[in-house]
Structure 1
Amino acid sequence: TGLGLTKTGSLDVPPAADENLAGWYEAGTTPGEPGTAIVAGHVDNADGPAVFYDLGALTRGSTIEVDRRDGGVAVFTVDAVEVYAAKDFPDEKVYGAARRPELRVITCGGGYSRGTGYQGNVVVFAHLTGSR
């Protein structure tokens, strides 16, 4: 699904009720095109695990396939998986421009508090290595 920005300027998220739905930042780069494409989804919801529950288990060299609206598939190879506290989130590193096609996959992560939720984010950094 398409994502925009919230009123405070942060990346919006897909509806929590649809645990298998990931979103792409529509005003940004299309996955597979030059630049930094952003995809976000939930790690879990009130019913249990969600689409990016296992995101933190990816390792360098893992592959991610993104189905594109044009019917193609963009294949990315993971460069790194990092966890950031919300107060230390590196906006420029995650959202900054890139010359080659890159992908950032983001979900909640870090410590969890029942009162405030997750304290940070898991971010996967990847670059395009193929398409079909």
Structure 2
Amino acid sequence: MLDVDHFKGYNDMFGHQVGDTCLKSLATAMVTSCLRSVDLIARYGGEEFAAILPGTTADGALTVARRIGAEIAALKLPHPGNNGVGHVSVSLGAATVVPDRTLEVKDLIAAADRALYAAKAAGRNCAMHVEQLEEGQRLNPVSAV
């Protein structure tokens, strides 16, 4: 899961048409960051996107997350309201599971969403991963992207 940091402020400052252009640029950067033909980027709602990376390990998901963050940072889209970053940035939450018959898609989405909110709570412009454990879940921080 990916959320554009402080996007409401971006839209308020530049207008919705520029905001839409920004989202298109970010989507292109995300697609470029996914190197396999089976990977999928989808708009999840508003300024949120999802990356579906079948057969990807936690390390692989975090590698893609870092690549996405770097591609978006390289765009250098100005965003003065982004808390000192000065350009558009994103927060990312990753969750990985080995599928089995007891898991539901909604559980994976909820885990990725929790990781996304942990990335936001950690200051944004970073990625977090949820590691599935029998006793619960542990969030693994990743350096700023």
TM score, norm. by length of structure 1: 0.31
The structure carrying a bigger strand percent of its residues is 1
TM score, norm. by length of structure 2: 0.29
The structure carrying a bigger helix percent of its residues is 2
Larger radius of gyration: 2
